[in-house]
Amino acid sequence: MTTMTVPRLPVLGWRSLRLRRQRVYAGCVLARGQALFVSSGRAAILHALRLLEVGTGDRVLLPTYHCPTMVAPIVRLGAQPVFYPIDRCAAPDLNWLAASDLGGVKAMIAAHFFGIPQPLGEVQAFCRERGIALIEDCAHAFFGQSAETPVGATGDFAVASLPKFFPTTEGGCLVVPAPLQRRLSLSKPSGLTELRALLDVLELGVQHGRFGVLGIALKALAAIKSQLRRPQQNPALLLDGGDPAAWLDEAALGYTALRVSRLLVAYTDTDRLIARRRANYQRWRAALQSLEGAQPLFPELPDGAVPYVFPLHVQRPEPAYQYLRAQGVPVFRWDVHWPGVPRLPGDHGKEWLTTVFQLGCHQELSERDVLYLANIVRQAVSNTV
């Protein structure tokens, strides 16, 4: 029997780059041409809220299914997060919202979870009628097109996260209306920070054997990098889901994205990225569709989708999830979430926080990798049923 190590992501390799700079094209958040590169997706949310003058006493709507990084910017500004339910397609429940007290609500965050584009036209109309600004969260959907529009084209603001699609460790995008753009002043990260980030990216590639003999020289550089490492966040803080400081790197919030991240967006071969992510999604689906105790959340991959992950709904997630994490399988779920997420009628989001396994579709995973990983997932889930 051949042995394999569990593949990790994301990595940079020669083949994933285009030699010539390209325009990152329609169907992605940059299509509106008003995107600013910022330090992370959460920084983009914070900037959007600041431009909307959200502050103490204001309320911001967001889904019960969430990553704490979506909530931290709201709480950081002294505003109150108000969780709304989502349906089985991960769309906001507008009936629930229409029947709710929306006094003091200044903004609503709606996300294209997993990279499945949501048609947001109705949500936008709902918000417009009530004077609520819509922040379209494209962290999981840097590319894509719903039945209506390209992702990032509907909201008053759109935000995205670079490391989820590009082989970099930091960076985000904020799509802002042109007149507001001038109100945002961002500073450049220091040269040392830029160097550290470049070495981080190269180190990841080297760890995965992507640079051939050049990797030996790069390994030496990686050793120097350990001297430049930024202090780690306090791990005790990371356990506290309700403290914005645990999720926001204050020093980086006001920075533009690092140069290496911006270059990788410009030079990553996006045709290849899109094709390989879609192929990996289909492979996960084929390998897991008849698994007892678990169902793909979206068995059909829509034509316009460029998936971030393959979401698998697992009826009895324990101990399968812990087992998969211990094996190093690239799987995530949002079991660390914001305190006080309510149980709402008809909602799927709160339950998904623990039952939906987000399985990586990264472009650097090969067919063999996905089949190998799917086999581990099958075993883990079958042993729990």
Q: For binding to ligand PLP (CB under 6 A), which residues are involved? A: 40-42, 67, 69-70, 111, 137, 139-140, 161, 172
Query: Min. distance of Cβ 176 from ligand PLP in angstroms?
Result: 16
Query: Min. distance of Cβ 352 from ligand PLP in angstroms?
Result: 12
Query: Min. distance of Cβ 359 from ligand PLP in angstroms?
Result: 15
Query: Min. distance of Cβ 130 from ligand PLP in angstroms?
Result: 23
> Beta partners for 1?
none
- Report how far residue 203's alpha carbon sits from residue 36's, in angstroms, rounded to the nearest whole number: 27
Query: Min. distance of Cβ 20 from ligand PLP in angstroms?
Result: 27
Peptide bond into 10 cis (omega under 30): yes
Q: How many CB atoms lie within 10 A of CB 359?
A: 26
Closest-CA residue to 60 (of 122, 110, 109): 109
Compute φ and ψ for 301, nearest 5 degrees.
-90, 115
Q: With respect to ligand PLP, which residue has the nearer C-beta, 140 or 196?
A: 140
Q: Identity (one letter) of the amino acid at 29?
A: V
DSSP 312: E
Q: Identity (one letter) of the amino acid at 216?
A: I
Contacts of 68 (CB under 8 A, 6+ apart): 241, 246, 247, 334, 336, 337, 338
Q: How would you class 381 by CB atoms within 10 Å of its CB: exposed for 0-12, middle for 13-18, buried for 19 or more?
A: buried
- Three-state DSSP class for 38? strand
Q: Identity (one letter) of the amino acid at 13?
A: G
Query: Min. distance of Cβ 344 from ligand PLP in angstroms?
Result: 19
- Report how far residue 32's alpha carbon sits from residue 28's, in angstroms, rounded to the nearest whole number: 8
Q: With respect to ligand PLP, which residue has the nearer C-beta, 41 or 360?
A: 41
Query: Min. distance of Cβ 267 from ligand PLP in angstroms?
Result: 20
Task: Say if residues 163 and 170 touch (Cβ distance below 8 Å).
Answer: yes
Q: How would you class 239 by CB atoms within 10 Å of its CB: exposed for 0-12, middle for 13-18, buried for 19 or more?
A: exposed
Query: Min. distance of Cβ 113 from ligand PLP in angstroms?
Result: 7
Closest-CA residue to 341 (of 68, 56, 54): 68
Distance, C-alpha 195 to centroid of its chain:
24
- For ligand PLP, the nearest residue by Cβ is 41
